[in-house]
Chains A and B, each alone.
Chain A
Amino acid sequence: QKEVEQNSGPLSVPEGAIASLNCTYSDRGSQSFFWYRQYSGKSPELIMSIYSNGDKEDGRFTAQLNKASQYVSLLIRDSQPSDSATYLCAESNAGGTSYGKLTFGQGTILTVHP
């Protein structure tokens, strides 16, 4: 049974700070990793994907992947109140069959307070 574990929340940071979200996974065959953001009562939306070891930056977001340690993280710089949401880590090892077949973590609730 594949598992994706996220750091327990909720996480509260002040506006302008760096929010750090962490995730570990159990399946060494996992190839693709994703961070989805979900506002309360809404559907998830993809904010970052990462496939190779190292860092990937997109605006205020940086995803980090370490396959040897089976660890994925998301850093949010200059956090804004609008970043307050649940962040879901997900992985896929579906290869060429179905990349939409994801295993999700339980989510971390982030609150950014002014």
Chain B
Amino acid sequence: NAGVTQTPKFQVLKTGQSMTLQCAQDMNHNSMYWYRQDPGMGLRLIYYSASEGTTDKGEVPNGYNVSRLNKREFSLRLESAAPSQTSVYFCATYPRRGWTNEKLFFGSGTQLSVL
């Protein structure tokens, strides 16, 4: 039972390169999220998927795209990486849409550097 698995754990890109961050969960949770964390700025929501088949923008969606491939997988794509996208990226899941008293389950994070 792995929980929330993110790949890769570390990545270095050159400006203009593209890549996809992968997230998979085995907890049968409905909702999935991508957050980024920059020093001194807490976590900011990039995109989320409240349920399979839906995606919505968060606070900082520019420069990113997402795909909810199925209930288990939610990927984040950088089409043309920029140095401003250097950050730690966390995927998270939430058990049930509309339920309180639950919590976000986070993956271990991907540290991305764009040179």
Contacts and interface: CB of A to CB of B under 8 A. Distances in A.
Binding between chains A and B: yes
Interface of A: 4, 32, 34, 42-46, 49, 51, 88, 90, 96-107
A31 B33 CA distance: 20
A6 to B, nearest CB: 8
B2 interface: no
Contacts of B48: 98, 100-101
Given A97-B50, A102-B45, A104-B42, A46 B98 contact: no
Interface centre among A51, A96, A102 (most CB of B within 10 A): A102
Interface of B: 31, 33, 40-45, 48, 50, 58-59, 90, 92-94, 97-104, 106-109
Contact of B100 (A4, A32, A44): A32
Nearest to A51: B100
14 contacts: A32-B100, A42-B108, A44-B43, A44-B106, A45-B106, A46-B104, A96-B97, A98-B31, A98-B97, A99-B94, A100-B94, A101-B33, A101-B58, A104-B43
Contacts of A88: 42-43
